[in-house]
Amino acid sequence: MLIVLSPAKSLDYTTAPTTDLHTKPDFVARSAELIDVLREKSPAQIASLMRISDQLAQIHVERYASWSTRITSRNSKQAVLAFNGDVYEGLDAPTLNAKQLDYLQSHLRILSGLYGALRPLDLMQPYRLEMGTKLPNPHGKDLYAFWGEEVTHALNTVLAAQKSKVLLNLASEEYFKVVKPKVLDAKIISPVFEDWKGGKYKIISFYAKRARGLMARYAALKGITTPEKLKNFDAEGYAWDASVSTETSWVFRRRVTD
């Protein structure tokens, strides 16, 4: 079983990493191609392309300028410890022990606009490049064209060594679009997280993102290699609802007070 997550916009490069263990991303040379394209953009062009403020654009232009293919612990941090959004608050990787981090290293990949697919302990330099960014490049009009089937082939390589040929999709739609189902050598299961609000169950973005991280954490804590065991996921009150689930869409529900 292999789990995929989206990255986060928020980054934490100030907190010291909780482990010295690290690996290097597989697609550094490909990432460098994108950095070369981004370096040609002015702060104003980056602001327009990414729909961010001029101040943020300037920060990222400086990051592109300093990005290097020479990756060290001085200019980088392990991806799963550097990302700092709702999903990663649920995952709470800094509190996992060595065995649990090793599980994630084998069973989790983080989809990335710049890096393609990251192992949790891959050293990552600070960046911003969302997968849905319409960045023209030598391979096409956007990042989906740039990565083509490359990310999917990389996932297939990992899946070939897994006991269960299942891809657990905990990524957003934007990021999962880089995975080509027809090329993927695995069954895809996509969990859905719903909360009771306003008299009905619905997907609430903040809670759903956190729940994705919670499920990845649950898998790491339990050392789960067979997806069926994830139906027992019960973190923070969620429970699998068989009555509304399908073979490939597993719905987990939770009642909260309005």
* Per-residue model confidence (pLDDT) at position 235: 97
Q: What is the pLDDT of residue 99?
A: 98
- Note the pLDDT of residue 257: 55
Model pTM score: 0.96
CA distance 127 to 145: 20
**What was the pLDDT predicted at 228?**
96
For the chain, the helix, strand and coil percentages under 3-state DSSP, each to the nearest 5: 40, 20, 40
Measured CA to CA in angstroms, residue 216 lies from 65, 106, 129, 191, 194 at distances of: 34, 12, 23, 11, 17
User: CA geometry: angle at 257 spanning 256 and 258, to 5°?
Assistant: 115
Average pLDDT across each block of 10 residues of the chain; the chain has 258 residues. List them in order.
97 96 97 98 97 96 97 96 97 98 98 98 98 97 98 97 94 98 97 95 97 98 96 98 98 82
Provide the residue ranges of all domains of the chain, joining segments of one domain with +: 2-27+76-255
pLDDT at 145: 98
Amino acid at 143: L
> In this predicted structure, what is the pLDDT of residue 258?
47
